């Protein structure tokens, strides 16, 4: 199966700009959930339709850009969350067992990295962000916090909450220290924003999808651990203050690497639609009208033929040149 970071090399990617529908495993549409206790969007199809390779224990494995097979912290914990949601939806014990199997594997991979005493690393390369091996991911850690707190509520086993609190420490450590927090100075304005890095490269990446997913994890743990709640409030306020870094007039940016002088990396139509959903959830969690305004702008862009063509052409230019 093609690596997620190479999945754009498909006609399915282009179809989405016309159909506005998800077309393959890496681009599954996640409907929003009315009950946030069942996570904020429904990932269950990621488990039900799983196409990942498996080892002899039934654990999912990820094929990297280099053709190697890895345990991906991102895919392990996302599959575990998807299985949890499949269990809630179907009441089938199989899916709960899948969830626990993959959650336990994820936690078993926890290790020390620089100043981080309990983190989960990926060991496959991501060429776009210059990552080679041994890197944590805020997206992975965020989903882990959200899942572990739900498993704690479901089972009342303290070990899940204890693990979530130990993982939380990574959100306070900077990328240079082995964590996922990056403090960004915006040009010469003196303004600053802190982002949680899905891809903690040497230079800023600032992927919006990963940052918001990590914020959701902080919010969920914050119901049980006040320090996490404080960090969520601080970082979500900063995101609202600086949402224009990602939300522009014609289309949304996938990341903010352009702040380092690189060309803009606009979101694909799939991620643009995910941004709409994620920012709507942020509005629900915080009540901040600036998130609502961005949602309205991005929806307008989504249904504008001009904006979709603009987004597609710019994405092609980014990938090809």
CATH label of the domain that carries residue 28:
1.50.10
111-134 pLDDT, tens digit per residue, is 999 999 999 999 999 999 999 999
Task: Quote the CA–CA distance of 73 and 67 in Å, as a whole number.
Answer: 17
Task: Quote the CA–CA distance of 307 and 265 in Å, as a whole number.
Answer: 15
What does the block give as tokens for 249?
A: 């007039």
| Residue 236 lies in domain | 4-320
Report the pLDDT averaged over residues 15-43: 84
Task: Quote the CA–CA distance of 247 and 231 in Å, as a whole number.
Answer: 23
Tell me which H or E stretch contains 116.
strand 116-119
Report the pLDDT averaged over residues 173-195: 91
* 34-45 burial code (b ≥16 CB/10 A, e <16): eebeebbbbbbb
Task: Quote the CA–CA distance of 7 and 213 in Å, as a whole number.
Answer: 21
How much of the chain, in percent, has pLDDT values that exceed 90? 86
50-107 pLDDT, tens digit per residue, is 989 999 999 999 999 999 999 999 999 999 999 999 999 999 999 999 999 999 999 9
What pLDDT, on the 0 to 100 scale, is given for residue 18? 66
Report the pLDDT averaged over residues 260-283: 97
- How does DSSP assign 136-172, residue by residue? --HHHHHHHHHHHHHHHHHH--HHHHHHHHHHHGGGT
- Provide the number of structural domains found in the chain: 1
Contact of 167 with 240, CB cutoff 8 Å: no
pTM reported for the whole predicted model: 0.95
Tell me which H or E stretch contains 54.
strand 53-54
Contact of 131 with 199, CB cutoff 8 Å: yes
Report the pLDDT averaged over residues 25-33: 89
């Amino acid at each position: 199966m093609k690596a997620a970071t190479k999945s754009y090399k498909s006609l399915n990617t282009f179809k989405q700009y016309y159909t506005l529908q998800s077309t393959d495993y890496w681009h599954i549409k996640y409907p929003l959930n009315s009950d946030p206790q069942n996570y904020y969007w429904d990932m269950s199809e990621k488990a039900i339709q799983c196409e990942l390779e498996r080892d002899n224990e039934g654990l999912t494995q990820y094929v990297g850009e280099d053709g190697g097979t890895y345990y991906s912290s991102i895919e392990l914990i996302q599959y575990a969350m998807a299985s949890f949601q499949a269990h809630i939806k179907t009441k089938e014990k199989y899916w709960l067992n899948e969830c626990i199997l993959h959650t336990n594997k994820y936690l078993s991979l926890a290790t020390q990295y620089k100043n981080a005493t309990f983190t989960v690393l990926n060991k496959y390369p991501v060429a776009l962000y210059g990552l080679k091996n041994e890197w944590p991911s805020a997206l992975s850690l965020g989903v882990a916090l959200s899942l572990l707190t739900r498993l704690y509520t479901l089972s009342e086993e303290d070990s899940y909450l204890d693990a979530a609190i130990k993982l939380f420490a990574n959100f306070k450590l900077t990328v240079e220290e082995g964590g996922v927090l990056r403090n960004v100075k915006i040009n010469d304005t003196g303004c600053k924003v802190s982002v949680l890095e899905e891809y903690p490269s040497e230079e800023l990446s600032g992927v919006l999808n990963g940052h918001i997913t990590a914020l959701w994890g902080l919010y969920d743990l914050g119901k049980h651990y006040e320090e996490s709640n404080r960090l969520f409030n601080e970082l979500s306020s900063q995101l609202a203050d600086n949402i224009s870094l990602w939300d522009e007039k014609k289309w949304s940016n996938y990341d903010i690497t352009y702040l380092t002088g690189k060309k803009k990396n606009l979101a694909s139509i799939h991620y643009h639609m995910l941004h709409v959903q994620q920012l709507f959830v942020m509005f629900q969690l915080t009540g901040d009208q600036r998130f609502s305004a961005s949602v309205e702008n991005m929806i307008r862009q989504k249904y504008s033929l001009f904006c979709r063509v603009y987004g597609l052409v710019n994405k092609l230019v980014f990938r090809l040149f």
